[in-house]
Chains A and B, each alone.
Chain A
Amino acid sequence: MDLKDIIKPENLVYTKTKNMTDKELSYCPGCGHGTAHMITMEAVEELGITEKTIGVAPVGCSVLAYEFMNVDMQQAAHGRAPAVATALSRVMPEKVIFTYQGDGDLAAIGTAETIHACNRGENIVIIFVNNGIYGMTGGQMAPTTLMGMKSSTSPYGRTAEQNGNPLKMTELVAQLEGTYNVSRHSVHTFKNVKKAKKAIKKAFQDAMDKKGTQFVEIVSNCNSGWKMSPVKSNEWMEEHMFAYYPLGQIKKDGVLVNNSNQN
C-alpha cells in the first residue's frame, strides 16, 4: 500500500494531545519528563476537564512545564507547589488542581509542604518525577540518589555516613491518612506508559470526587545527569532504580496494598 493511502486523517490513531502547546520541549533528548507531561495532559483531555484544570509547576527541569501544558498554570517557589495547590483547591473547590514536581523539589526542599498537603488530604493530584538527581542545576545529588551513585556533589558515590539513605517519599506519604491513591510507575516502555496514564487518570477522577490526595510517582531517567545515552539510561533505570524504587500500587482507594502484590 502506498503511504499516501495510509496517511489520511481518517486513519489517524495517535497524535500529540491538543492539551500540549506547540512549543518545543526544553528537555534533553530521551528525557521521561516529556512523556510524563504528555500523559498528564492526555488524562486531562480524556476526562474533559481542561477548562477547570489548573497546574502548578515546580523549580527544577520542569520549571517551564507551563510553557508546554496548555492549561492555566502557576509556577511555584522551590518545593512550595503543594502549598500553592492547597490554596488553589481550597479557594476553588470546583476546579481540578495538580502539581508536577521533581525529586529535589518534592523530596528535599519541599518535604514539609508535600507531607502536610498529603496529611491534610488536599484534593489535589501530585505527579512526582523521580530521576534521582538534580538535572536542571547540572547533576547534583538528590535525596533520591541511589547509594553509591555518583553525582557532582557526591563525586565518589553516595554513602550513608555522608549523605544518609535515598528517601522513599512515596512509601512515606502512603502512610498518611490523607492520601487516597499512591503508586509508582515509569514511562519508558509502551506498557509502562499505559499503566502510568491509567493511574494519572484515576488520580484526577478521584481528586475531582474529593477523595483526598492523589500521589503518582514516575521513576524516570536523567541521561544527561547520569551521563548515559537515553536508551542506556532506561536500561540502567530498570536495573538499579526499580530495584530500590519498585513499581506498583502502594495505596489504592485509601487502603495500603500488600507489598507482595507489587509487580
Chain B
Amino acid sequence: MAEVKLMKGNEAFAEAAIRVGSDAYFGYPITPQSEVIEYLMTEQPHMRTGMVVLQAESEVAAINMVYGAAGAGKKVLTSSSSPGISLKLEGISYMAGAELPAVILNVVRGGPGLGTIQPSQADYFQAVKGGGHGDYKMLVLAPSSVQEMADFVEDAFDVAFRYRNPVMILSDGVIGQMMEKVVFKPQQDRWTEEEIIKMNGSWATTGKTADRERNIITSLNMRSDAMEIHNHKLQAKYKLMEENEVRFEEFMCDDAEYIMVAYGSSARIAQKTLDIARSKGIKVGLLRPITLFPYPTKKIQEYVNNGVKGFLSVEMSAGQMVEDVRLAVNGKAEVEHYGRNGGIVPSPTEVLNALETQIIK
C-alpha cells in the first residue's frame, strides 16, 4: 500500500532504501546527509527486512564495505557529502573496474576542501567525468525533489544491476534537508540467496560450489592487452547507457527562443525564473537533465537545430555543467553560465537578471 509522509530528502532516501529491499547500507556521518544513517539506525531495518546497517570507521572503509557486499551480488548503498565522496572515489573506481553495482548518494555541500555545510552543485565534474582514476563512468541521477530522493533509489538499483556499474544519486544540501510530501511504494522483499545465485551467480562471490568455477571480483589485470579489452568492454557499456538511459524533463521548450539548463535544486529555482520571465513575455524554456551522465546532448542539439538562440546553464558552481551544454551546442548558439558558489543558493530574480543581461542582451 502506498503511504504518504512528510519528511526530509535524506530521510526519504533512507526509507526508500529499506523499501526497495536493500541488503545493506554502510556509511559515515557528514553534514548535510547524516540523517540518512540516523534514520536507518532509528528504523532498525534488520527488524523490518533483515537489512544490514553499519556505521563504518571512515568513508574509505564504508565504500570498501559496499565493494564487498556488492561483490557478493547484494543490493547495497552508501551516502556521503562532498569531502566524504572524495574519499570514496578510490573505491568507486575499483567498483567500476570490477563492474560492481551499487548506489551512492552525494548530498553536495560547498567546497573545495572542508568548505561549508551549505548546498552546492560543485561536484558535477567529480560525478559525471569519472572523479576517481582511470577511464570510467557512473550513471548519475539528479533528484530535484524529496519524492525523487525516494524514487531514484529503485531506478538507481535497476540500472546499477542492469549494467553492473555503480550509480550515483547527485543531490545537494537543499534537496537533502528540505521537507516535502513523499509517496512511498509498498515494501519489496529482499532477494533470497537462491534469487541472488540465479541472477548474479555468474560473477558474485556467493561461495564456490562444486558445479561452477570460482568467482573472482577484481579490477586488476597484469596484462595490458587484456586490460585494454576490459576497457573497451567498459566503454561499450557506457555507450549503451548513452543510447538508452538519458532522462530529462522539459518546461515550455516548444516555442522557446532561449533555454535555461538546470538540474537538482537549481532546476526548482529556474522554474520560478521561468514563470516570471514568461509573465514578462520572454520566450524562455527550461531543460532539466535528470541523468547527468548520460547527458541529454541530443536534446540540446535539437533545440539548436530548431533555432534556439541562447542557453543559460544555472548551477550552484563556478560553471561545470555549462561545459556539457557547450559541447552539445558546439558553437552554434550563445552559451553562458550563471551560478553562486560556496553554499549560496541563487534567487529566481538573480537568474532572471542573468538571463536578460548575459543571453538576451
Contacts and interface: CB of A to CB of B under 8 A. Distances in A.
Chain A–chain B contact at Cβ < 8 A: yes
B207 A91 contact: no
Contacts of B220: 63-64, 75
Contacts of A28: none
A255 interface: no
Contact of A87 (B67, B210, B218): B67
Nearest to A55: B205
Interface in A95-146: 95, 112-113, 116
Interface string A188-199: 000000000000
A74 B71 contact: yes
A84 B208 contact: no
A79 to B, nearest CB: 9
B207 A54 contact: yes
B132 to A, nearest CB: 11
Interface string A82-99: 011111101110010000
Contacts of A159: none
Nearest to A116: B57
A88 B208 contact: no
B208 A87 contact: no
A175 interface: no
Contact of B69 (A64, A80, A90): A90
A83 B214 CA distance: 22
Given A66-B218, A73-B214, A54 B61 contact: no
Nearest to A85: B68
A154 interface: no
B69 A71 contact: no
Given A91-B24, A113-B61, A72 B208 contact: yes
A232 interface: no
B252 interface: no
Interface in B205-235: 205-210, 214-220, 222
Interface residues of B, number: 39
Contact of B208 (A50, A56, A86, A90): A50
Nearest to A54: B205
A53 B207 contact: yes
B62 to A, nearest CB: 8
A54 B91 contact: no
A239 to B, nearest CB: 35
Contacts of A92: 72, 206
Interface in A142-166: none
Contacts of B208: 50-51, 70-72
Nearest to A56: B68
B293 to A, nearest CB: 23
Given A87-B67, A88-B68, A91-B52, A73 B205 contact: yes
B49 to A, nearest CB: 13
A87 B217 contact: no
Given A80-B91, A90-B69, A112 B217 contact: no
Contacts of B207: 51-54, 71-72, 95
A75 B66 contact: no
A257 interface: no
B74 interface: yes
A77 B64 contact: yes
A84 B65 contact: yes
Contacts of A75: 98, 216-220
Contacts of B209: 51
A113 B217 CA distance: 20
A76 interface: yes
Given A66-B216, A92-B72, A77 B67 contact: yes
Contacts of B74: 91
B23 interface: yes
Contact of B61 (A50, A72, A73, A80): A80
A72 B206 CA distance: 7
8 contacts: A70-B214, A72-B207, A73-B217, A83-B68, A87-B76, A90-B24, A112-B60, A112-B61
Interface of B: 23-24, 26, 52, 54, 56-58, 60-62, 64-69, 71-72, 74, 76, 90-91, 94, 98, 205-210, 214-220, 222
Interface of A: 50-54, 56-57, 63-64, 66, 70-77, 80, 83-88, 90-92, 95, 112-113, 116
